[in-house]
């Protein structure tokens, strides 16, 4: 099996207690299998990063944030800087369509966020809704996520997702490209079997530990 990159996006969900329950249940599942050939990242709210970093233990899963300040440390009330994030995580999602839509994030602002992430050595999952959206240089993973597929239960076809991903890879030279938008344990195999697809970005399906575990193991089944 080819190496796969799977990043769960918890969005604005879970308290500390709920995150600890998730972790205990997920650990109980993963102790039974090897997660070879998988790079797992869990992208959680800022508030959960410290406790998850402390409790994640030997689990072969990196932590990520879901946003980053476009500025360095300083007088930017409410922002969390790259340097602050770097203390707790290795990855950050930048440019998710929910941030573009609900918070008016523009390509120009997102470029600044990418620069901040790069300056502190955070690895970047950069989200785009189609192949026409510009991808800043130096991002590590591009996630193709059609807006209409996010949280709706409707997915792109694996064939079209693979076509978009190939075109993104050709244009941006990004090392890895993945698909997101209503990925489930039931449909994940149809996406990852496409040769250009390097993995997936599940949101809703990452919230339940058993569902997330089933999604990961379903990638192995032919």
Give me the active site residues, please. 96, 145
CA 125 to each of CA 57, 58, 93, 122, 144: distance values in angstroms, whole numbers, following the listed order: 23, 23, 5, 10, 10
Applying CB under 6 A, among 180, 185, 199, 209 the residue interacting with ligand PGA is 180
Q: In the numeric block, which tokens belong to residue 149? A: 């597929």
Cα gap 166→178, rounded to integer Å: 10
Whole-angstrom distance, CA of residue 175 vs CA of residue 139: 8
Q: Give least dist CB 63 to ligand PGA, A.
A: 16
Binding residue for ligand PGA (CB under 6 A) from 201, 215, 216, 219? 201
In whole angstroms, the minimum distance from the beta carbon of 83 to ligand PGA comes to 25
**Interacting stretch for ligand PGA, rule CB under 6 A, among 21-29, 164-172, 175-183, 188-196?**
175-183
| Residue number, nearest CB to ligand PGA | 203
The verdict on 183 binding ligand PGA (CB under 6 A) reads yes
**Which listed residue (41, 124, 128, 150) binds ligand PGA by CB under 6 A?**
150
Of the candidates 142, 99, 95, 86, the residue with the CA atom closest to the CA atom of residue 114 = 95
User: 91-94 and 123-128: which strand pairing?
Assistant: parallel
Binding mask 1-20 for ligand PGA (x = CB under 6 A): --------x-----------
Bridge partner residues of 123 (DSSP): 91
Quote the crossing angle between the two packed helices 16-30 and 209-218, to the nearest 10°: 40
Q: Which is it for strands 4-9 and 61-65: parallel, antiparallel or unpaired?
A: unpaired
Q: Which is nearer to ligand PGA, 66 or 172 (CB)?
A: 66
- 185 touches ligand PGA by CB under 6 A: no
The residue within the footprint of ligand PGA, chosen from 99, 182, 188, 192 (CB under 6 A), is: 182
Residues 118, 153 contacting (CB under 8 angstroms): no
Among 64, 82, 95, 181, binds ligand PGA (CB under 6 A): 181
Under the rule (CB under 6 A), what is the footprint of ligand PGA?
9, 145, 150-151, 180-183, 201-205
């Amino acid at each position: 099996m080819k190496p796969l990159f799977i990043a769960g996006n918890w969005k604005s969900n879970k308290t500390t207690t709920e995150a600890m329950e998730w972790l205990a249940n997920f650990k109980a599942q993963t102790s039974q299998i090897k997660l070879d050939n998988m790079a797992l990242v869990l992208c959680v709210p800022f508030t959960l990063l410290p406790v998850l970093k402390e409790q994640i233990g030997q689990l072969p899963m990196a932590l990520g944030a879901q946003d980053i300040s476009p500025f360095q440390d300083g007088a930017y009330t409410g922002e969390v800087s790259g340097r602050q994030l770097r203390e707790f995580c290795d990855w950050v999602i930048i440019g998710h369509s929910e941030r573009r839509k609900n918070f008016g994030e523009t390509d120009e602002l997102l470029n600044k966020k990418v620069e901040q992430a790069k300056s502190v050595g955070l690895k970047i999952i950069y989200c785009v809704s189609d192949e026409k959206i510009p991808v800043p240089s130096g991002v590590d993973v591009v996630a193709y996520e059609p807006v209409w597929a996010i949280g709706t239960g409707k997915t792109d076809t694996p064939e079209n997702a693979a076509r978009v991903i190939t075109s993104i890879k050709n244009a941006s030279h990004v090392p890895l490209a993945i698909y997101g938008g209503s990925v489930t344990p039931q449909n994940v195999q149809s996406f990852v079997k496409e040769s250009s697809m390097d993995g997936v970005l599940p949101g809703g399906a990452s919230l339940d530990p058993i569902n997330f575990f089933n999604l990961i193991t379903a990638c192995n089944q032919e």
